[in-house]
Amino acid sequence: MSGTYVLVLDVARSTTIEVGALGDRAFPAGAYAYVGSAFGPGGFARVDRHRELACGERDVRHWHIDYVLGHSATSLESVVTFPDADRECELAGRLPGEPVAEFGASDCDCPAHLLAVPAAETVVEAAVDAGGVVDDPSADPDH
């Protein structure tokens, strides 16, 4: 299955993270939401890959968000998926929060696909209200 997804993150303490070609970026403590798409080979297996990186089970970083997910101050709190829907740019502009400049939007005209959000619960609720489904890996016997 493929589509668009929203990763909801918590940065437990203010920190600076080297984000590939973007260089060092300061991340104040708080909640963040990353909007991505999974239309390539494997579809939503990309979300599983993000989960593995966040748990320390994977080291390779391909995308900007990988550098944040792989940092010790960061935890992946929730995932909301939009199966078979190409809504990445729309959601990045629609969800509550402030864009983290240039982050995750190198292939489009959006200001960013990472948002500093008011609270994790707020962005999950907004994503579900927009038609998303909370992805609970414990409900899937393949996880």
Range of the domain at 28: 3-129
**How many domains is the chain partitioned into structurally?**
1
Residue 141 lies in a domain: no
Provide the 8-state DSSP code for 21. Answer: G
Q: From CA 71, how far away is CA 106, in angstroms rounded?
A: 21
- DSSP secondary structure letters along 47-82: HHHHHHHHTTS-----SHHHHHHTSTTEEEEEEEEE
In a domain, 138, yes or no: no
Mean pLDDT of the chain: 91
- On the question of pLDDT at 101 being above 90, the answer is no
Tokens of 52: 């593995």
- Does 137 map to a domain? no
Lowest-confidence region among 56-65, 81-90, 111-120, 125-134: 56-65
Q: Please check the confidence at residue 123 and state whether its pLDDT lies above 50.
A: yes
Confidence of residue 139 (pLDDT cuts 50, 70, 90): low
Q: Which of 73-87, 101-115, 122-136 has the lowest mean pLDDT?
A: 101-115
pLDDT single digits (tens) 12-68: 999 999 998 888 999 999 999 999 999 988 999 999 999 999 998 888 888 889 999
Q: Which of 56-60, 73-77, 113-117 has the lowest mean pLDDT?
A: 56-60
Asked if the model's pLDDT at residue 5 lies above 90, the reply is yes
What's residue 138's pLDDT?
A: 67
**Higher per-residue confidence, 4 vs 109:** 4
- The total of other beta-carbon atoms located within 10 Å of residue 29's CB is 11
In terms of pTM, does the model score above 0.85? yes
